[in-house]
Amino acid sequence: MTMTSSAPADRRYLFCLSRRAAFLSLLALVVLIVMAFLTRAAWLAALGRWLVMSDALRAADAIIVLGGGSGEREVWAARLYGEGMAPLIITNGERVRVPGETRTFAEISASQLERLGVPADAIRMLPETTSTRDEAVASRKLLAALGARSAIVVSDPYHMRRAALTFNLVYQASGIAILYSPCPTAWFDARRWWRTERAFLAVTGEYQKLLFYLLNGWLF
């Protein structure tokens, strides 16, 4: 008596298994996408809130205003200065890339601070800085030269997490304590950032920069 090969049946069985596995994988992916969509408000808000951080403030030797923003950083820094939180403000930022504008962000920031009542001799400028990491490195050198032992970093709320990770790494073993104080902003709500274009671009751009900093070893 001859035996027939079971190879075709085995192939059909394996094919059915692979189709079933593919179907289940696709179904699981669809379920995950649906769940992500239905719970988007919760996890999107969590992504926004993670970017925001602040410290309980105490008097320091300087306030560091990070470059950029639309004026809220200077308003907040001037308020902290007026409350006696620090006797010195450091401004940052390279030349503004706008036709007809020859000043740096650091100079524009200093001018605004003066209009807000901060004396010119209480301001130091770092006009060569081009990034948050540059600002951390340059400000550490300046504060060390001044003999400062503490500083308050001011920036927009969505920028504070990257700023803190960057400054903490640069300032480690410096003996200079850094505190973080986000400026109040009317346009940014970490709980609903995806609802306005400006906030959406700010948050998504910040996560891109976090990835860039992470890949270059500038966070840890």
- Give the CATH fold of the 55-184 domain: Rossmann fold (3.40.50)
Pair of tokens at residue 74: 């200077």
Short-list 203, 199, 141, CA closest to 170: 141
Ordered by start, the domain boundaries in the chain are 55-184
Phi/psi at 151 (nearest 5 deg)? -155, 155
C-alpha closest to that of 134 among 49, 48, 216: 216
More confident residue, 174 or 5: 174
Q: Which residues pair with 52 in a beta bridge?
A: none
Of 65, 121, 68, residue with least CA distance to 94: 68
Distances (CA, A) of 77 to 33, 179, 184, 191, 219: 43, 13, 11, 24, 25
Residue 1 has pLDDT above 50, yes or no: no
Residue 14's pLDDT band, with cuts at 50, 70 and 90, is low
**Percent of the chain's residues with pLDDT above 90:** 78
- Kindly state the tokens that stand for 190: 């970490």
pTM: 0.86
Give exposure, 166-194, as e/b (b: 16+ Cβ within 10 Å): bbeebbeeeebebbbbbbebeebebeebe
Angle, CA 122 vertex, CA 117 and CA 127 arms, to 5°: 105
pLDDT digits (tens, 9 = 90+) for 162-220: 999 999 999 999 999 999 999 999 999 999 999 999 999 999 999 999 999 999 999 98
